[in-house]
Structure 1
Amino acid sequence: MPEALPIFPLNTVLFPGMTIPLHVFEQRYRKLVSELLGPSMAGGEAGGRERGPARFGVVWIELGHEVSSESGQGAGGADTGVPHTGEHARGPSLPLVSAVGCTAVVRDVRTYEDGRYDLVVEGGTRFRVTDLSKVDTSAGDDYSTASVALLPEAMGPDAKEHADRVRDLYEVYRERLSEIGMAPETSHDLPRDPIALSHAVAASIVLDPAEKQRLLEAEDAATRLAVAARFLRRENRIVAAPTLPNLPAGPFLDNGVSFN
């Protein structure tokens, strides 16, 4: 059954079970957070707090498409704009976003007197956007909502065999990154469940966002693990080389701006 969600576009891909920090300063997303948390949690003194059950949807902004902003920045600028999924509906102020995203809940929040927020959000369930609202972005104080269909988490054929292969490849990946002081922030005890493993590994491998999105959209855990194995073989060769590509840095995603 379709579900209505407020939508927060980011220049990163959120996976089920993954946590990411966000710094929210733009007015439309301050409004989103305030409405999610309610007046008792969105205002008042700064500090970390528990949150209620409300959730929202995170979708990846597909880079390369123009994003208008109040400051005149293009894609990747501080203003994420309002997303849409239809190529024919795209206007100059509406960036293109992926049709598959992930629900998110706020696990920790810090509020500031000027209305900004620092959040830690956790991914929940994958979804497909079935209808996305088109709002007037000229006022800069509203966000998109979407009708979404939650996606099932199927195991897929030979998932256990794929999982065993990925665990071995990921251990090599982690060891090679550790040798240069860049070990991924994952527990040494990876999930035993192939579905949870597929999301944990997909979230932690250093990949281009388009490749991350491909993993998020995989139809089942077996497919995701098979694709992750191919990426891990490639990344293991890269990490073993004398020089490394530029890797992302943290700690906060800034209103949808990527780590870079």
Structure 2
Amino acid sequence: MPRLGRRGQGAVLSRRRGIPHLPRSRNARLRVGSARAAEHLGARHPNARRPPHWRHMTSDAPNSEAAADADPESGVHLRLFPVHTVLFPGMPLPLHIFEDRYKLMIGECVRDELPFGVVLIRQGSEVGGPARVHPIGTVARIEQVEKLDDGRMNILALGEHRFRIAEIVQEEPYMSARVSFLPQLVSDLDEDELLDLSGAVGRAFVAYDRLTALVDRDWEVQADLPHDAADIAYLVASVMPLSPREKQALLAQDSVDTLLRTERNALTQRSFHHRAVLAARRRVEEREEEHGDMPAPSHLN
């Protein structure tokens, strides 16, 4: 079988309402993965697959060629950024860095060209003391930096590989951990079956996307969809209005088949809801056209 503006801890998550635009990519146990990038907020587009440069992060880290297939028992030291959002591989994360400890941490990452890990807070405050976090997160590579007064920064990071925390090694002044890389998504389907499933999810997403734009006028319709099954799965997971806990469950999923099927069902349900909302609006508009605006109620003295 073939292998395949919300306040965060020390930062403001400034993602615009809408959908990040991704470039086209392609392919499918298929080890699923390809070139993922973001034009969102002006991010530049790498045109080829770009594994993370682990050699910058620690001297005993696996090199970039081995990063995707790193031994789960091996460990890499990674700075962690706990937030109340879930970052998926290939997706953009714009942040405004304002808290002192994260100005320090991100400043070190910018200076030394280091990635950092984004993890969802399980328990604790976003700003202040250490928080308990979920064990699975996503490596974020800084793509753009805008330095502001007092050491504050606006940054745009791009999600890369998933990881699992093996051990928290530091909590002050910021959290860091020894982590191991999770495998790329795998499929138990043959290539044609996987293409059919990812195509069905892509079509369901396009329908949902257009219906959402009719329901919510601030919604930005996705201009183009990726071709790769994992890219489609992570785009849909990132964009859909799910709770952080639900998105964390999707991030932890190793099977692209399960991920796509879960998303297909969710898209179908939400599209049905949107159609019901639009039908109700049409009935109201038809009544208003037929009977005119209802007169305001009179008040007797």
Q: Would you say same fold, with TM above 0.5? A: yes
Counterpart residue identity of residue 20, structure 1: L
CA distance in 2, matches of 1:175, 1:156: 29
Deviation at 1:128, TM superposition (A): 0.8
Number of corresponding residues: 200
Tell me what 1:147 maps to. Answer: 178
Q: Do residues 196 (structure 1) and 231 (structure 2) align?
A: yes
Tell me what 2:61 maps to. Answer: none
CA distance in 2, matches of 1:232, 1:96: 31
Once the two structures are superposed, the pairs formed by residues 54-73 of structure 1 within 5 Å of their partners are 54-62=114-122, 65=123, 67=124
Structure number with the higher helix fraction is: 2
Contact 2:141 2:157 in 1 (8 A): yes
Deviation at 1:96, TM superposition (A): 2.2
Contact 2:213 2:221 in 1 (8 A): no
Counterpart residue identity of residue 232, structure 1: L
Q: Match for 1:222 among 237, 251, 257?
A: 257
Tell me what 1:18 maps to. Answer: 91
Q: Do residues 168 (structure 1) and 203 (structure 2) align?
A: yes
Q: CA RMSD in A?
A: 1.9
CA distances 1:116-164 after superposition (whole Å, capped 9, x unpaired): 111111101011111112435xxxxx10111111111133123323212
CA distance in 1, matches of 2:148, 2:78: 25
Tell me what 2:243 maps to. Answer: 208
CA distance in 1, matches of 2:88, 2:222: 14
TM-score, L = length of structure 2: 0.62
Deviation at 1:210, TM superposition (A): 1.0
Deviation at 1:80, TM superposition (A): 5.7
Tell me what 2:267 maps to. Answer: 232
Unpaired runs of 5+ in structure 1? 39-51, 68-74, 83-94, 137-141, 244-260
Deviation at 1:182, TM superposition (A): 4.1
Indicate how the Cα distance of structure 1 residues 53 and 162 shifts in structure 2: closer, same or farther if over 3 A, else same: farther
Deviation at 1:223, TM superposition (A): 1.6
Deviation at 1:241, TM superposition (A): 3.6
Q: Do residues 157 (structure 1) and 159 (structure 2) align?
A: no
Tell me what 2:136 maps to. Answer: 100
Contact 1:128 1:151 in 2 (8 A): yes
Contact 2:209 2:222 in 1 (8 A): no
CA distance in 1, matches of 2:185, 2:168: 26
Please state whether the residue corresponding to 1:104 is helix, strand or coil. Answer: strand
Contact 1:11 1:61 in 2 (8 A): yes
TM-score, L = length of structure 1: 0.71
CA distance in 2, matches of 1:201, 1:80: 32
- Considering Cα pairs closer than 8 Å and 6+ residues apart, tell me whether 1 or 2 has the greater RCO: 1
Indicate how the Cα distance of structure 1 residues 129 and 177 shifts in structure 2: closer, same or farther if over 3 A, else same: same
Deviation at 1:29, TM superposition (A): 0.4
Please state whether the residue corresponding to 2:149 is helix, strand or coil. Answer: coil
Contact 1:58 1:101 in 2 (8 A): yes
Q: Match for 2:150 among 111, 114, 137?
A: 114
Q: Do residues 3 (structure 1) and 76 (structure 2) align?
A: yes
